[in-house]
């Protein structure tokens, strides 16, 4: 059974809950899944595919997930990977949020050459003004960021379903390539 790692960073837990749902969906689709907070102890080479995600804070991924992707770039470049960003900017400003997400993916791709995600997604998160420092609370009160839990579980499940399909396709292509290489190489060698 193919092994999939779902790894995430989180500050207040909303991304961890999204990762848990992604993990359950992939397990239901027949993968063997671990859902783990991103960190240096994870042995990425034990997996056949990886889903990595993080909330956006100040237009950037939380560092634990970004550091995970960058420090495991060589291993991740050899397997199918899907990335997701969680944020609340998109609740009021979908275009700006998509630009922010695409910028994050572009930065990760620059820092981790060879990383070619099979899919990326941006999900609405959950926001409470009480989590902001005092001055930002005042600014945000003026900006009027929509508070509350905006997570769209249906969108998250539907993306995960597609990611499962893409992982299966990519793994099939990889094993066909390996099978294709073997006999030809030995024929060449034996003349």
For the chain, report the end-to-end CA distance as a whole number of angstroms: 37
| Distance (Å, whole) CA 69 – CA 169 | 22
Instruction: For residue 57, state whether it binds ligand FMN (rule: CB under 6 A).
Output: yes
Instruction: For residue 120, state whether it binds ligand FMN (rule: CB under 6 A).
Output: no
Instruction: Map residue 120 onto helix, strand or coil.
Output: strand
Instruction: For residue 10, state whether it binds ligand FMN (rule: CB under 6 A).
Output: yes
Query: In whole angstroms, how close is the CB of 134 to ligand FMN at the nearest point?
Result: 12
Q: Please write down the long-range contacts of 139-146, taking CB distance under 8 Å and 24 or more positions apart.
A: 144/92, 145/88, 145/91, 145/92, 146/88, 146/91, 146/92
Query: In whole angstroms, how close is the CB of 182 to ligand FMN at the nearest point?
Result: 44
Query: In whole angstroms, how close is the CB of 4 to ligand FMN at the nearest point?
Result: 20
Q: Which stretch binds ligand FMN (CB under 6 A): 44-52, 63-71, 113-121, 124-132?
A: 124-132
Instruction: For residue 137, state whether it binds ligand FMN (rule: CB under 6 A).
Output: no
Of 11 and 78, nearer to ligand FMN (C-beta) is: 11
**Contact present, 79 and 48 (Cβ < 8 Å):** yes
Q: Which two tokens stand for residue 142?
A: 């003026």
Which residue in the block uniquely carries the two structure tokens 């056949």?
48
| Phi, psi dihedrals of residue 82, rounded to the nearest 5° | -125, 140
Instruction: For residue 105, state whether it binds ligand FMN (rule: CB under 6 A).
Output: no
Instruction: Show the binding pattern over residues 63-102: x = contacts ligand FMN (CB under 6 A), - = does not.
Output: -----------------------xxxx-------x--x--
Q: Which stretch binds ligand FMN (CB under 6 A): 4-12, 40-48, 66-74, 161-169?
A: 4-12
Q: 153-190 and 14-28 are packed helices; what angle lies between their axes, rounded to 10 degrees? A: 60
Using CB under 6 A, list all residues that contact ligand FMN.
10-15, 55-59, 86-89, 97, 100, 125-127, 131-132
């Amino acid at each position: 059974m193919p092994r999939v790692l779902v790894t995430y960073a989180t500050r207040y837990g909303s991304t961890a809950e999204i990762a848990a749902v992604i993990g359950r969906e992939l397990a239901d689709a027949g993968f063997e899944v671990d859902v783990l907070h991103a960190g240096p102890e994870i042995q990425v080479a034990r997996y056949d595919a990886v889903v990595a995600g993080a909330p956006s804070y100040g237009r950037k991924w939380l560092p634990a997930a970004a550091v995970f992707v960058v420090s495991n770039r060589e291993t991740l470049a050899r397997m199918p990977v899907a990335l997701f960003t969680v944020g609340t900017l998109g609740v009021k400003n979908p275009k700006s949020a998509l630009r922010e997400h695409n910028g994050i993916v572009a930065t990760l791709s620059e820092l981790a050459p060879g990383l070619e995600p099979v899919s990326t997604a941006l999900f609405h998160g959950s926001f409470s003004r009480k989590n902001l420092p005092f001055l930002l609370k005042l600014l945000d009160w003026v900006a009027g960021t929509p508070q509350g839990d905006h997570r769209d579980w249906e969108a998250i499940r539907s993306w995960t379903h597609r990611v499962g399909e893409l992982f299966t396709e990519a793994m099939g292509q990889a094993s066909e390539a390996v099978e294709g290489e073997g006999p030809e190489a030995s024929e060449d060698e034996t003349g």
